[in-house]
Amino acid sequence: MQDKLQFFINQTSFTERPSAPLAPFQYQELIKALNFHRSIPGYAPTPLYSLPALSQKLGIKSLCLKDESQRFGLKAFKVLGGAYAMACHIADILGKDISELPFDVMTSDETRKALKEVTFATTTDGNHGRGVAWMARQLKQKSVVYMPKGSSAERLAAIRGEGATAEIVDMNYDDAVRMTAEQAEKYGWVVVQDTAWEGYEKIPLWIMQGYGSLMLEALDQIHQVCPTHVFVQAGVGSFAGMVQGMLTATYGENRPKVIVAEALIADCLYRSAVSKKGEAIAVGGDLQTVMAGLACGEANSIGWDLLRDYATGFASCPDFVATHGMRILGNPLPGDPHIISGESGAVTTGLLSILMQSPAMAETRKQLGLDQNSRVLVISTEGDTDPQRYLDIVWDGEIPSFNKY
């Protein structure tokens, strides 16, 4: 298998005649999620850092990083989507709008009596499942979590620590999703998955809207000064699709250029874009990558349509791109903040660094308009959610990064 970074500039007939709906990602929809999140005890906007020394080294005007390692003490952004979708599901059962059910009302004895018992089920590589388990515990409900083979024992323990029934199964992520859906139908559980498929779109859309709180915070923190480029990572593409949908709905033709970063071994969006056929292409196999949170081979149909129509570029990233980013952020230049970013969180920083410094990427830089006038936003979607793996990479040099590009 090749181990080189591959990049696709998205200039297809779908970008010329976009059709993906933007209404679900307008401000008036996403603010509902942010208002709900604000009602949860312990909510606080995660930090947005400026990295002036790194931006100077890379030859861009500015670089800002949204640090999700501090989200509700869970070290990852994923809880935003799962929690909001679970809340919307409860509101739906009770025949209410989510705006009528802030967290204290949703967890009241009166609401729980009307609701009765709910079991939420999901498949996860770690962060999403922990968020679902955490929210289920907050709601005093049950959760069942399945993890694909190769998942971290530390991440499994963290999910069980939130009160979930959880196990690692002998199948890849996408097969585990199908198995979870079958089990949920058998036992009457509610599936909370950000992978959308025919007949299962409502909860994935709620999850995507829940992720929108992150971007609303970020735009407020940069004082509504629109970045020129946003680098976003993708597994099934729910988060990346939300970012693209929100920015397009907000800024239209003046939106930032969105660059999507995927793990090479699970680059379903990249392959789908390269095909230029408009249909999502699945990637099979074991999907073993250091970027555990991105090890998903089948795209969310809602997210894919948005990215197909509006994204500027797609990158298929070998593991060294992520470890390169982890080391950059964990060993900052003088004056820049020290940021603990996990494997899936740091791939966007690693990709930006390679794009700006590799002679082989000069033409791609030019096509993307990345230069001394660029204002770049990256999102570190997780901290050290597997602390030992983080140390193995940043301290002990697992998966060399520098000489690969």
Type of residue numbered 299: A
Q: Are 304 and 296 in contact (CB under 8 A)?
A: no
CB atoms within 10 A of CB 132: 30
Determine how β-strand 257-263 pairs with β-strand 165-168: unpaired
Q: Are 384 and 69 in contact (CB under 8 A)?
A: yes
Quote the CA–CA distance of 278 and 304 in Å, as a whole number. 9
Q: Are 315 and 351 in contact (CB under 8 A)?
A: yes
Q: Are 349 and 329 in contact (CB under 8 A)?
A: yes
Retrieve residue 326's tokens.
């982890």
Q: Residues 125, 305, 319, 386: which is the catalytic one? A: 125
Residue 276 annotated as catalytic: no
Scored b (16 or more CB within 10 A) or e, 102-130 reads: ebeebbeeebbeeeeebebbbbbbbbbbb
* Chain centroid to CA 120: 20
Q: Residues 32, 66, 75, 78: which is the catalytic one? A: 78
In DSSP terms, 233 is beta-bridged to: 261
Q: Are 46 and 28 in contact (CB under 8 A)?
A: no
Nearest to 266 by CA among 210, 153, 344: 344
- Region of 369 (left: φ > 0; alpha: ψ -120 to 50; beta: rest) is left
Nearest to 69 by CA among 396, 387, 398: 387
Residue 125 annotated as catalytic: yes
Catalytic positions, written as ranges: 78, 125
